[in-house]
C-alpha cells in the first residue's frame, strides 16, 4: 500500500496497561520514531524520539524522574511540555533544546497519538470524553474519540500483528459487505440500517451468520449483529451481539501505519457481564472466543491486503456495500489523495443470501449518531 500516505487522525501507540507510571517505551507512527512515557503523576506523553541535544533515542535511553523525562546520554531533562528544564551539567539550557511533542489521549485503555498528514498543527484543543486528555503542554487536537462505558465489561484481551497493509484498506472492511461472504464464509449478511458518516465518524450496522469452522476446527455456528463505529482510519470500536449465545462483546480494531507499507494492527475484545455471563469465567471464555474469531478473520484478510493495490477509481457494483460512502468519508484523512468514486452509491447493499432479521435480533431501532464529534464544514452523508 505504498501508494497511500499516512493518514491524518488518532492512532494507537501503546496500551495503557503497558505504560505504568515511570515507564518509557519506543513507538513508531508512519515515518516518525516516537518516545511514549508516563510520569510519576500518571500523565502520558508522546514526543519525537530524538533528544535535541545529540540525537539519542529516548525510547531506549530515556528514564522518568518524577515529572521529567531524562536522557541517559547526557542527562538532559524535559518536562511534559517538551521543554528542556535542566542539562546534566547544571549550566544554561540551550534555547533549541525542546522535544517535538505530539497530541496524546487515552481512550478505553489505549494510548493514542494524533498524526497530521498535512504537516500542520491542529487548530484547537479538545479533551477526549472519558479520556485523560492531552499532554501536559495542552497539545491541541481537532476532534476527540469518546470513551465507551466500561461498567459491567471485562478487562480487554489484546493481540498485536504486524504485516503489509494500510489503515485505509483495513477500515474499509467494515463496510465491504461482499467480502464477508467470499473471504470469510459468512452467510445471510444483511445491512440492518444505512451506513452514515458525520465528520470524523462513520457508522454501520449488519447482521450475519458465522460459519462453523475456525482455523480448520469445527465450532458452533452463530448469528451475530455488528454495530461499527470508525473514528478516523486508526480507531474502530464494534459492539458485537451473539444472538445464538445471548452474549455481547466489545471489539477494537486499531491499525497504526509503520511506514514502508507496513501496519501494526492491535485487536482487542471484552465481554459484557450480563445474564449468564455475570460469572467471570463465562465472560472470559466468550471474550477469548470472540478474539480468536477476530484473529481468524484477520488471517484470512491478510492474504488480500498483502497482495492487493489501492484503486482510486474502483468499479463498484450493487452488493458491495457502502464503499463509495466510505471512500468519500476517508478522503478527509488522506491529504493529496483524490476521491474518484461516484457521488451517489450505486445501490444499497443487498443481502448476499435472503434472510429476515427480527426486530429483537436487530436490537431495536437503528443506531443513532449520538456521541459523534462533527468537524466544522463537514456535511453528514448517508448511504443509499
Query: Average pLDDT of 264-291?
Result: 90
Model confidence band, residue 15 (pLDDT cutoffs 50, 70, 90): very high
Query: Average pLDDT of 36-63?
Result: 96
Does the reported pTM lie above 0.85? no
Residue 224's pLDDT is 87
How far is Cα 14 from Cα 266, in angstroms, rounded to an integer? 9
Is residue 23 pLDDT above 50, yes or no?
yes
Q: Which triple of cell numbers denotes residue 189?
A: 449478511
Model confidence band, residue 3 (pLDDT cutoffs 50, 70, 90): confident
State the Cα angle at 258 between 252 and 262, rounded to 5°. Answer: 85
Closest CA to 117 of 334, 377, 326: 334
Give per-residue pLDDT as tens, 185-224: 888 888 888 999 999 999 999 988 876 655 555 666 778 8
Q: Among 16-25, 146-155, 354-363, which is the least confidently predicted range? A: 354-363
Residue 187's pLDDT is 83
* Best mean pLDDT range from 215-219, 248-252, 301-305, 350-354: 248-252
Is residue 359 pLDDT above 70, yes or no?
no
Q: Exposure pattern of 305-334 as b/e (b: 16+ CB <10 Å)?
A: beeeeeeeeeebeebbbbbbbbbbbbebbb
Is residue 314 pLDDT above 50, yes or no?
yes
- What are the φ/ψ torsions at residue 224 (nearest 5 degrees)? -135, 160
C-alpha distances out from residue 289 to 251, 282, 285, 294, Å: 12, 11, 6, 9
Q: Among 20-34, 242-256, 358-372, which is the least confidently predicted range? A: 358-372
- What are the φ/ψ torsions at residue 204 (nearest 5 degrees)? -150, 155
Q: Among 25-34, 96-105, 202-211, 374-383, which is the least confidently predicted range? A: 374-383
List beta partners, residue 196: 203, 382
Query: Average pLDDT of 315-326?
Result: 90
Q: Which CATH number fits domain 157-355: 3.40.1360.10, 3.40.50.10860, 3.40.50.10070, 3.90.380.10?
A: 3.90.380.10
Closest CA to 228 of 171, 190, 189: 171
Q: Which triple of cell numbers denotes residue 96?
A: 533549541
Q: Which triple of cell numbers denotes residue 154?
A: 471485562
How far is Cα 380 from Cα 266, in angstroms, rounded to an integer? 29
How far is Cα 10 from Cα 145, in angstroms, rounded to an integer? 8
Is residue 275 pLDDT above 70, yes or no?
yes
Residue 188's pLDDT is 84
Residue 245's pLDDT is 83
Residue 65's pLDDT is 96
Contact indicator for 262, 180 with CB cutoff of 8 Å: no
Residue 119's pLDDT is 63
Place of cell 484470512: 300
Contact indicator for 49, 35 with CB cutoff of 8 Å: yes
Contact indicator for 265, 255 with CB cutoff of 8 Å: yes
Of residues 174 and 348, which shows the higher confidence score?
A: 174
Residue 214's pLDDT is 53
How far is Cα 121 from Cα 114, in angstroms, rounded to an integer? 10
Residue 67's pLDDT is 95
How far is Cα 194 from Cα 369, in angstroms, rounded to an integer? 12
Is residue 134 pLDDT above 60, yes or no?
no
Is residue 361 pLDDT above 80, yes or no?
no
Q: What percent of the chain has pLDDT over 90?
A: 56
Of residues 2 and 48, which shows the higher confidence score?
A: 48
Model confidence band, residue 121 (pLDDT cutoffs 50, 70, 90): very low
Domains 9-115 and 157-355 share a fold: no
Q: Exposure pattern of 28-60 as b/e (b: 16+ CB <10 Å)?
A: bbbebebbbbbbeeebbbbbbbbbbbeebebbe
Q: What percent of the chain has pLDDT over 70?
A: 79
Q: Which triple of cell numbers denotes residue 54?
A: 545529540
Closest CA to 322 of 188, 186, 173, 207: 173
**Mean pLDDT taken over the chain:** 82
Is residue 343 pLDDT above 60, yes or no?
no
Q: Where are the domains of the chain?
A: 9-115, 157-355
- What are the φ/ψ torsions at residue 275 (nearest 5 degrees)? 60, -130
State the Cα angle at 284 between 280 and 287, rounded to 5°. Answer: 140
Is residue 109 pLDDT above 90, yes or no?
yes
Instruction: Name the CATH architecture for the domain at 9-115.
Output: 3-layer Sandwich (2.102)
3-state secondary structure of 287: helix
Of residues 376 and 198, which shows the higher confidence score?
A: 198
* Best mean pLDDT range from 230-239, 334-343, 370-379: 230-239
Amino acid at each position: 500500500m505504498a501508494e497511500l500516505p499516512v493518514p491524518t487522525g488518532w492512532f494507537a501507540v501503546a496500551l495503557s496497561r503497558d505504560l505504568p507510571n515511570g515507564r518509557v517505551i519506543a513507538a513508531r507512527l508512519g515515518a516518525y520514531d516516537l518516545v511514549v512515557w508516563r510520569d510519576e503523576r500518571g500523565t502520558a506523553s508522546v514526543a519525537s524520539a530524538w533528544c535535541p541535544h545529540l540525537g539519542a533515542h529516548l525510547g531506549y535511553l530515556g528514564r522518568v524522574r518524577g515529572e521529567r523525562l531524562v536522557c541517559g546520554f547526557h542527562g538532559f531533562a524535559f518536562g511534559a511540555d517538551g521543554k528542556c528544564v535542566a542539562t546534566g551539567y547544571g549550566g544554561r539550557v540551550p534555547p533549541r533544546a525542546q522535544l517535538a511533542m505530539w497530541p496524546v489521549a487515552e481512550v478505553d485503555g489505549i494510548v493514542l497519538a494524533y498524526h497530521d498528514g498535512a504537516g500542520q498543527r491542529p487548530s484547537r484543543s479538545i479533551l477526549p470524553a472519558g479520556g485523560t486528555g492531552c499532554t501536559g503542554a495542552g497539545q491541541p487536537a481537532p476532534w476527540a474519540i469518546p470513551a465507551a462505558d466500561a461498567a459491567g465489561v471485562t478487562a480487554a484481551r489484546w493481540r498485536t500483528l504486524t504485516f503489509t497493509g494500510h489503515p485505509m484498506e483495513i477500515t474499509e472492511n467494515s463496510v465491504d459487505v461482499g467480502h464477508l461472504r467470499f473471504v470469510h464464509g459468512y452467510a445471510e449478511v444483511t445491512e440492518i440500517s444505512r451506513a452514515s458518516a458525520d465528520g470524523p465518524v462513520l457508522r454501520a450496522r449488519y447482521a450475519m451468520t458465522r460459519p462453523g469452522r475456525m482455523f480448520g476446527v469445527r465450532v458452533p455456528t452463530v448469528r451475530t449483529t455488528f454495530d461499527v463505529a470508525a473514528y478516523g482510519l486508526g480507531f474502530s470500536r464494534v459492539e458485537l451481539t451473539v444472538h445464538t449465545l445471548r452474549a455481547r462483546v466489545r471489539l477494537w480494531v486499531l491499525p497504526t501505519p509503520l511506514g514502508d507499507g507496513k501496519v501494526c494492527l492491535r485487536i482487542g475484545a471484552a465481554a459484557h457481564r450480563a445474564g449468564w455471563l455475570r460469572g467471570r469465567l463465562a465472560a472470559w471464555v466468550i471474550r477469548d472466543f470472540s478474539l480468536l474469531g477476530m484473529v481468524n478473520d484477520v488471517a484470512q484478510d491478510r492474504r488480500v491486503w498483502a497482495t492487493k493495490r489501492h484503486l482510486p477509481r474502483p468499479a463498484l457494483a450493487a452488493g458491495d456495500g457502502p464503499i463509495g460512502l466510505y471512500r468519500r468519508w476517508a478522503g478527509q484523512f488522506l491529504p493529496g489523495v483524490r476521491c474518484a468514486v461516484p457521488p451517489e452509491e450505486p445501490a444499497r447493499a443487498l443481502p448476499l443470501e435472503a434472510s429476515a432479521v427480527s426486530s429483537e435480533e436487530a436490537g431495536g431501532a437503528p443506531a443513532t449518531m449520538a456521541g459523534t464529534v462533527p468537524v466544522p464544514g463537514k456535511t453528514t452523508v448517508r448511504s443509499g
